[in-house]
Amino acid sequence: MYREWEIVKWDGEACRPTVDRIVEEFPLTVVLDGWELATLLCSPDGLEDLVTGFLAAEGVIKSFEDLKALDIDMVRQTATVQTRDGFDSGAAERLLYKPTITSGCAGGSAANIRDLAGIPPVTGEAAIAAERLIGLMAQFQKRAVTFRETGGTHAAGLVIQEEIFAFYEDIGRHNAVDKVLGCGLRRSLELSCAIVLSSGRLSSEAVLKAARMRVPIVVSKSAPTVYAVEVAVRLGVTVVGFARGRRMNIYSLPHRIKCARTRILPSMWKYNVRAD
């Protein structure tokens, strides 16, 4: 996940030689049924989970059972995927317009109205106590060892039955989310009762990934965007931001986060989710 590198460090007064730990970046080209679909710039671990989660969260496949074979070649830096009965060509063609999915914060794309059209609202009534969610976020942040060593990764976690089942760090925040979703798919977990945890800003694309996988709750220690919250309301996803310490902000469908005491009116407790 990282390498040690000799550097020169300035401490405000003088320059001195030292050794720093730098996170690795790995270009992985996904070849789907002979198509060179996209190149993911990612951290070089959990690549089977990454490819599975990426294809499913982008709507190219519907489930892990759609895959006949998945082969990772670390030397050629390729993931060769064979499907059983084809794939969603419309979703695949959208990816062809962004053939390199970068690791940077601006590397993703915003969801558009065409992306939302074929996705029914998430109806899973998963719920979790606010106190328990804050405890999970504390555990989540403690597991981010590579971030503490390098400062160069994002993290994502998949919560099943109120426990962190899967955890990944990656140079890209969306890669980390794809990895934990792929982990769940490859193990045939029921994601309609799951929660996704993230260290990064919640964009509309992250919410869209959750909705495609029928995940009802997405939580981050950072902020969401306005469009992410609008997409979440439309698709029935509960978005929680700034979940750290003893606080959190619930931006959409707050009925899934159980609070011992609440000062809001019952009429505010549930949003009207539109299916159109």
The reply to whether 105 belongs to the active site is: yes
The beta-strand segments (E) located in the chain are: 2-10, 15-23, 26-32, 35-42, 67-73, 78-83, 100-101, 128-129, 154-160, 163-170, 195-198, 217-220, 238-244, 247-250, 257-258
Say how far apart CA 82 and CA 32 lie, in whole Å.
6
- 59 and 88 Cβ atoms separated by less than 8 Å: yes
247-250 β-sheet, strand order? 163-170, 154-160, 195-198, 217-220, 238-244, 247-250
Q: Which of 8, 10, 4, 52 is nearest to 32 (CA)?
A: 52
DSSP reduced 3-state for 238:
strand
Catalytic pick from 15, 42, 105, 193? 105
What token pair was written down for 107? 């590397």
- 100 and 41 Cβ atoms separated by less than 8 Å: yes
The beta-strand segments (E) located in 45-141 are: 67-73, 78-83, 100-101, 128-129
- Return the amino acid letter for 259: C
Say how far apart CA 77 and CA 159 lie, in whole Å.
30
Which residues are known to be catalytic? Answer: 105
